[in-house]
Structure 1
Amino acid sequence: MALRTAGSVLVVFLWSVAVVLGQNGWSVTYTKKSICTLKGSTVKLTCSYIYPSGRVTTNLWFYKKDAKGNPVSLLDNPDYKDRVTYRSERKNGHTLSIRALRESDSANYKFRFITDGNKGKYTGDPGVTLSVTGLQVKVTPAAEGQKTLTCSTTCTLTDNPTYIWYKNGHKVKEDTSSLDSDSFSDADSYSCAVKGHEDLHSPAVYGPRNTSVSVSPSGEIVEGSSVTLTCSSDANPPVQSYTWMYRKNGDGSKNTSVSVSPSGGIVEGSSVTLTCSSDANPPVDKYTWYKKNVTSPKASGQSYSITNIISEDRGEYYCEAENTIASNNSTTTLMIIVAGKQTSVVTAAVGIIVVVLVLILCFSGLMWFRKKASKSTSDTRDKADDGQGDSIPVYDNVSIMAMSPTDKPTDKPTDKQDDIHYASIHFSRSKNQEVPLYSTVQLPQTQKQEEDVQYSAVKFNRPLLPPNPQQHKHLRRTHLFSTAQSTNPEPRNTEQN
């Protein structure tokens, strides 16, 4: 018993002496004894060492030994080929660099050196513990409508980095905390990174996408057979649970479409009614109207009326039909194109032109009739002038004023005397009369008369009676007959002696 105790004391003494010698003459000091860094990044392990005498002939970094117990330099390890470098930065100082870190690089790395003095060898313990981690966003339910996002790592990153948050690939904020409690939408994706390593994003997290169902065996299924339905979905984190729903053919909403009344062009100030229809069983119990690129709904109900349309109402409209089973958007959208108010400028211009043309035609017709009437009168006068040399007296456009028996001839006609108008007066001499003088007067007829008859109205003042009694007597023997046709259906003959 005493010998056993003495032996134990000797072993402890010798070990203590070795430790003292090692601490006094040999040592390795590491800058950091523990490092947590990102996967894909580069890390540097630095140390300094001392030894009692001689010259250092060999140095190396290792984390494992061969079968004989000899340390294997990282330079000779195929897993680290082309990824590590050794570099002496100062006297008795050494740095190991590892690029493109992998999670499998997590290990305890030690530095070993050999001197030429008495073949001295020394390994620095306990070495440097390297932990390589990737980033991962974890989603934790929080308050209603919100979820907490955590930029998670398997170890605590060294140097207290700043975290960067991304939404749908776009940077949204920086924070020293790895937590983000903003509202989380299943339709969006979220990721995080560490400032200084923005290229090392975490995998994005998002709700289930591209959910589909497959059946096995495929093909026609007959009664009494068995099938297996498989649901798959793209989601991160992975889908935790699947729920199967059964719906008979015809259930839910389908064939949802929209229509507009009235159809055709739509101008500002007008009104239209949009109608949504859907084939559903059970029937649709809710219709909601949306305008494309506008998040909030425009209206509810199967019909949506837009009154007093303005230019801002232009755009694409669609409806959502919903029953107790499901909802469905219209397969087509309705484009409303609003045109500005249009005044009938062209119509007004055409109307003005037509009125002007009618006035021009009327004026031209009036001038033509006046010209033709003037020409007819001129022709009649020319004929009268040409017949003055004949033995038959011909008179044209003669006006004789009627006188009562009590009237006396005066030198001037009075204003109270009525004017008598004649047109186309022709006189001829009969063989049995000394001076038979006839006058046929035709007044303008109604529109029922022939259009070829031409009239000329001529106004003459009554001439003075001849002072010579013989001439007066001669005139009294002259019978002047005048037949005038007027609007009165019965002709009237007047005879003056």
Structure 2
Amino acid sequence: MSLTAALKGFVVVLCWFAAAQSDEGWNVRYNTKTEICVNKGSTVIIWSSYDYPAEINNVSTTVDKRFWFIETEGEPVDLREDPEYKDRVRNRRYEKKCRLEISEVRESDSGVYKFRLITNHENRSFTGEPGVRLTVEELQVQVISRSDQQEDSDLQLKCFYKCDPGGLYRYAWFINGEETRSSQTLTYRHRTSSTDRISCALRYYGMHPSPEVYAPQTASVSLTPPGEILEGSSVTLTCSIDANPAANFTWFKENKDSLKSEEPTFTISNFTAEDGGLYICVAQNQLGQQNSTVQVWVGSGSVGLVAAWSIRAVLLTLMFLAVLFLKVFRRRSSEEPSVIRSQDEDAQEPEGLERDGLTSGRPAEDQVEIQHATVTFTQRQEDPLYSTIDPVKAKRRRDSHEDKEDVVIQ
């Protein structure tokens, strides 16, 4: 029989009678024990029957609402309207009987459940006391003893269930999901390998099995930061493992007997060359152990040397950018002409040029392009100072049509 075939659902129906009754004819009776204990994942059914006075003050009594709720500090809330019980609660009514059915119960469902009536009479509602206390527990596999052999281990196990302190139920054991028929009691002895996964369940009830127990699997170690570690810095070694029960960790360094750490993470501050080497993480639980190693390499240089070179590189970069900026600025300044033309010079032609015949008798396209020098005035405007205008020799160039002269005036 496989584990999947065993999980068909488990229904707990316990018949007992606990009544809450008043002198006025109100009555709620629970057809169940006032305290019940079930396994996680099962289905629980609680019955109740009720009665109420046919009339009050000559007014007939009608029931407006009947519902189940879990006892809390606030006002009673219908379980069908509680998001924690959505799609897991069903109420069924037969005349003056009402059945509560909770499927796939969780450990958080543990509490006291009560039945409540609300009628058409003002302030006339009735809650059945004391209610039914539900306790949800989960099966657990416990390791009683272990003796290691060459390639496997001899284990003695127990299926622990709080709802069965006397061990009266019959149990089923599963190895890697397959049922083994070698034992139907709450204890089990098995020769197992390091990769076996073991669980237990209540036989014939199809209840959810216990969580699987197994030795540490797939250990791995990581470094933060990765790669070579510089002297003076810090590094954190992390060991990850998959195991149930949870594994205990131990860190060692190769060729060193001293214990480094007993935590999953191990940090080395102010790393030195002597800290480099092979580190070993040992993960162990009651079913076995697994080791994982990591090599920590020492990088060239140190944190202080790297910082000094970084500062020097930044300074050199800033100096280079400053020199480059000055060169670009000077080059742009030298390329821009400093020409100021006075309004008087723009209004009339220079007399010296007219006497030299540079502007007379030539068409517009043959006119000489004239550049004027800068004119500077002193504070006393009655003594103007004019810069000397010296014509330079014109350069002649001949093209296919006609001669043109370019006169440059300095």
Q: TM-score range by the shorter chain?
A: 0.3 to 0.5
Higher share in strand: 2
TM-score of the superposed pair, with normalisation by structure 1 = 0.40
Q: Which has the larger radius of gyration?
A: 1
